[in-house]
A and B are shown apart, each in its own frame.
Chain A
């Protein structure tokens, strides 16, 4: 396993670095927030990202993508994390694209090119309760006519209020808690019975609650096999966790670098506060944690690209590690900034907010530590 970036990957990283720093820096998120933007991201930016190949980064070339793999996607996500860039990259380019790669030929031909070209935003409607718990899916899909009828409520549906189509996880057999019996359906948000409530989150980014009341879908809306949705979900969540970990790495690293820069300038007691060993040691500890965390991200995403059978476990482990490390970076960041760390003017608080949301998405550190123990039979 190569843990050092090759030439193509370095080029991808540098390109993404320049792109996001110029087109979608932190202040762009502030504008979206302060103008109460209805979309929650900049559609022109998303079109530009598609032009750069970012939207189709894991879409096969035959469907209009650049198919560079998940490590490359992680390098893009890392830069988005550094700039707190709002975009449908996670929902559409990663989660939906990965799900649809498991779809029928018709589904692939219809949706993958639209993802790659930036013409469709697609949301994954999975979670229901207060915590991530795929097996706990209780939303039902009952046979109806030549299709299904969906009932239930979804929460934390990222980009749900602007989605052109949703991928909904619903139970077609068994009961909440079973891994088997879940199926995935493409649902048009404009269908009768779909009620969408936008829920702007603490990070000023998109999410929605979706209520499904006797929503009819046709039989060809099914992605993957009936009752076998968990296999597809595993692939989708593996990719999502790996990419969320990469975004956490970017956000955590930037929060850390901003903090180190700050303590090199701030003076108290007649001296630069960065001279105090109390702050130096905490900074050096954080540096170490971030280096360890970077290896976890690169290792997990490389394993995913190489088809390693443990990739799913590694991406979950990386998500657990990055959740903890990025949280530490943001908490220490605010503390070391002192009073100004509590103000809206400084960016460090925005990093803390985004990191909190990313920690929660697709399972927090506790969730993945438990899953790790279960997988290792202890």
Chain B
């Protein structure tokens, strides 16, 4: 038996013994997710126990070093662990921008003190992070951001406004892009700072979306004091960290959000079959096409990751994956709405699980806007891959 097989058996045994039964069912809504943080209220004892046990194993962040709360697993072992969790339908113990986004940047760019201070609370789900990137005047053109950080010796004073800050009203800390110099090119003079959302001068107001949900906020920053020890990387050079982090975010948005059930099953259940064929022949063709594209897209995710592992840099191909994945996801949800007809339109009923279909459909419209719009991704491909002039 290989080491990996041994690890699989160990993981399987441990998960069987430690994952509570209630945590082996599909999440019925995004409210079931555990986000952790100072203000988080567990929905059940099982949810709390499941988090605590996974934290003790270092398995909320399996590949992070042990001293920062991880388990020091290899990428291959992490895949095995995820497969074993999926086998028993175990829920993700902790959803966290700290894990998905800030953590990798801290590991790469942080100094020892910063890593020791911030990584373990992320791993334990004690501190919940949000991302302060976009501003009212800096969306697709993120580098034109204006939130100003004035140098006051041992600290900065930050003034400005952020927007589309995910869950800012529930987060404990923020990683934030600020302008420390506006004399040079726009990509220069951006710094990457961390501060507590409970600091004086921070106010987060939720934005209501077309889906009726409010996962995003406007965040106002008025004379917020940020200690210089909370500057990540070099002053004025935060753009490279931001780009690194956006690449992670793009891979996540591009790849995630898979509907659990194949589209054709949903459609067959909803519309029925005639002579073994979906009752709507036009929709049937579009579903077949979308599912073939999905198969090829999933293979592409695997192929690009394998190439990256073999040493080739993913580079601007993360834009290709983000562009294609989000557009495909939108297409799929349009087809789901077509397939579910009147029922898919229900907004508030138990039968519709509080309009889950309609709200999810609306949510996908943001996929090709957040993390860089589809148009920006196409610009990046034109410039960096095709090397077209003026792009």
Contacts and interface: CB of A to CB of B under 8 A. Distances in A.
B381 A275 contact: no
A277 B379 CA distance: 8
A192 interface: no
B389 A275 contact: yes
Dominant SS among interface residues on chain A: helix
B390 A260 contact: no
Interface string B280-309: 000011011101110111011011001100
Given A280-B378, A288-B324, A369-B288, A317 B388 contact: no
A292 B284 contact: no
B267 to A, nearest CB: 7
B375 interface: yes
A191 interface: no
Contact of A284 (B277, B297, B378): B378
A280 B382 contact: yes
A353 B278 CA distance: 34
Interface residues on B, range: 35 or more
B277 A373 contact: yes
A256 to B, nearest CB: 10
Contact of A260 (B377, B379, B386): B386
A260 B317 contact: no
B295 A373 contact: no
A32 B293 CA distance: 37
Contact of B292 (A1, A279, A291, A321): A321
Given A288-B324, A295-B300, A296-B299, A369 B292 contact: yes
Contacts of B267: 378
A299 B296 contact: yes
A332 to B, nearest CB: 13
A10 B181 CA distance: 48
A374 interface: yes
A288 B278 contact: no
A321 B324 CA distance: 14
Contacts of B284: 373, 378
A267 to B, nearest CB: 11
Nearest to B297: A292
A112 interface: no
A298 B303 contact: yes
Nearest to A289: B324
A372 B389 contact: no
A365 B302 CA distance: 24
Contacts of A377: 268, 273, 276
A190 interface: no
Which of A298, A368, A376 counts the most B-chain CB atoms under 10 A from its CB? A376
A284 B324 CA distance: 11
Given A2-B306, A288-B323, A299 B276 contact: no
A317 B292 contact: yes
B4 interface: no
Which of A272, A281, A287, A378 counts the most B-chain CB atoms under 10 A from its CB? A378
B278 A378 contact: yes
B306 A284 contact: no
A1 B306 CA distance: 10
19 contacts: A3-B303, A4-B306, A4-B310, A260-B386, A264-B388, A271-B390, A281-B378, A281-B379, A284-B378, A289-B324, A292-B300, A296-B296, A299-B295, A299-B296, A317-B296, A318-B296, A368-B292, A373-B278, A378-B267
Interface of B: 262, 264-265, 267-268, 273, 276-278, 284-285, 287-289, 291-293, 295-297, 299-300, 302-303, 306-307, 310, 317, 320, 323-324, 375, 377-379, 381-382, 385-386, 388-391
